[in-house]
Chain A
Amino acid sequence: MFHDNKANRLRKEILLRVARAFFTEQPDKSLNRIPLVMRPKRGESSRCCIYKDRVVLKYRTMAALGFSVENEVDELKPISAYYEEALKRDEPVKPVLTVIDDACSACVTSRYSATDACQGCLARSCESVCPKGAIEFQKGRARLDPEKCVNCGLCMKACPYRAIIRIPIPCEEACPVGAITKNETTGREVIDHTKCTYCGKCLRECPFAAISDLSQIVDVLKQLKAGNAVGMIAPSAIGQLPGTLPQLVSALEQVGFARVVEVAEGADETTRQESAEWAAKMSEGERFMTTSCCPAYIETVERHLPEIKPYVSDTPTPMAFTASNVRKLNPEAVTVFIGPCIAKRVEAAKNPDVDFVITFEELGAILVGAGIDVLECEEAALSTQVHSEGRGFAASGGVTAAVQALAPGNAALEPLIVDGIDRKAISRARTWATSSCSGNFVEMMSCEGGCISGPGTLGNPKIALRQLKDLLEKTPSLKAETVIDNQPPFTERPPSIYMEKI
């Protein structure tokens, strides 16, 4: 899970340059130059030449401005023209993940390959085990014929030297629902939007950074100038930018947010209602209930797990509660959710109370563009209405701990935490509906580690978790009045008993 790499930095650099351009006197000039500045003449190229790199960079910049590369009509249309168009729209674009065709390296289809480690042995188990006769020997070394190979993997298992390897296609490997597949003619990857759950795993795993989502950074920059934007920062904000949470709040005020609220306050409300809902459902004889706050999980249920739908909690998400509160106070407010998640854009598109969604990466780019150093910011006062339960939503196990803390008769709560939704987790979930579920409260988190390791984060999940724990210790608990033990709501749990990893 080490996501700081050159591909990731390149994506962030584009966002940063777009945000910087916004704050200059002639944004169009700096925007049009982005591909040239990033791949100067006689400089290094990461593909065949700087010219192809520049084309791909232009497409990346388009995505950062909220335009889908697939919809390009005129190749000569400059970045500045897209920027002008972006400034004119009042609503964010419909969320969609796209493959930048020219960036996709069309990874090899043949997934198995014999390496130099082949000893050309006498046994030749690989040859005898292959059901398709795809293994031939050239100069005493095994070679797989891609035309005949059916990717069964038997040869790999048979080789005593481990000389046959499986070469994965990273995006397909990462996708838990088989939404990204190869176009057989071009060899490039295509996303099936009817299957995509917007979890962002492919976006993160592609070593060529060929997958992009459509940023709302320009839309939000425009709202910041207009001065009516309310920033709603997700509980996972901790560790995502330098400095403390109070410093981050004051940085947001400096950059132009009229008000900043912690979504943790909404998460407290989710905790209250979800624990009551769980207790009610259990007394009605339901077998189990799953959480509802992870939008990638919700999309997974909608598209791939309809049988689980009746078991999903009806309690609104922390973002929904927060946005509705903001609107109640000020119906004119423009609500901007700032979080680690790109699936939240899908949730927001369904919720009229949420106007825009940006990631921590995008927020970082905005702060840099505005020249704000978070470490130099004063500490703003945080709301006293936020509790450790709500803030704890940021990491896996946090929602469970919160609901458990408030659930009446919480001894009967048997938690099951799904820390990261992959293929296995989905097929396991399918069996819960038909046979049995080993817990009666199921926390579903698309990202391993929870929101603090989401696809829109820029912090280090380990450091973020440490900082989160420190913060939680200083935050009052919702059950303060009825404290039974002094255990902090978010603690390390022995995985064997408490957390069932699937």
Chain B
Amino acid sequence: MKKVTVSICTGTTCYLMGAAHLLCIDEVLDPYVRDHVEARGAHCLGLCHNEANGRAPFVKVNDRVIADANLTLVLDAVREILEEEN
């Protein structure tokens, strides 16, 4: 199965607005999901420059952009993608 990529933007804006806390996502993934997820901090994704994109912090789950991201939103997206692919 292809891994789901979670890129947590760690540009200064996203980091300030909560990305710092999202970086511990590994700890909340359940063991089954963890093997299928690759989570990492990413350099600024550039999404904060346009207010139309929504609020920071931004997380990309594969190609999906999540604005005002929190762990629940990110985990939901991961689960959805895993279900779609299987």
Chain A residues proximal to chain B, CB less than 8 Å:
2, 4, 8-9, 12-13, 16, 37, 239-242, 361, 364-365, 367-368, 372-376, 458-460, 462-463
Contacts and interface: CB of A to CB of B under 8 A. Distances in A.
Contact of A12 (B10, B16, B23): B16
Nearest to A457: B20
B21 A242 contact: no
Given A9-B68, A458-B16, A463-B24, 6 more contacts: A12-B16, A242-B12, A373-B11, A373-B43, A376-B43, A460-B20
Contacts of B16: 12, 16, 241, 361, 364-365, 368, 458
B2 to A, nearest CB: 28
Interface in B33-58: 41, 43-44, 51, 55
Nearest to A365: B16
A39 to B, nearest CB: 13
Contacts of B21: 2, 4, 460
B20 A375 contact: no
12 contacts: A4-B22, A12-B16, A13-B55, A241-B12, A241-B15, A241-B16, A242-B15, A242-B41, A364-B16, A367-B12, A375-B10, A458-B15
Contacts of A4: 18, 20-22, 70
Minimum-distance CB pairs A-B, first 4: A364-B16, A4-B21, A242-B10, A4-B18
A419 B15 CA distance: 27
A375 B18 contact: no
B49 to A, nearest CB: 9
Nearest to B41: A242
A460 B20 CA distance: 6
Contacts of B24: 460, 462-463
Interface in B1-19: 10-13, 15-18
Contact of A459 (B20, B43, B55, B70): B20
A373 B12 contact: yes
Nearest to B11: A373
A378 to B, nearest CB: 15
A364 B41 CA distance: 17
A374 B13 CA distance: 10
A12 B41 CA distance: 21
A13 B48 CA distance: 12
A465 to B, nearest CB: 12
A375 B44 contact: yes
A4 B24 CA distance: 12
Given A373-B44, A375-B44, A376-B43, A463 B20 contact: yes
A93 B41 CA distance: 38
A16 B10 CA distance: 16
Contacts of A373: 11-12, 43-44
Nearest to B48: A368
Contacts of A13: 17, 55
A454 to B, nearest CB: 14
A8 B17 CA distance: 9
Given A373-B44, A375-B43, A460 B23 contact: yes
Nearest to B14: A242
A364 B20 CA distance: 12
Given A13-B55, A242-B41, A374 B12 contact: yes
Given A460-B24, A463-B24, A9 B17 contact: yes
A459 to B, nearest CB: 5
A239 B12 contact: no
B77 to A, nearest CB: 18
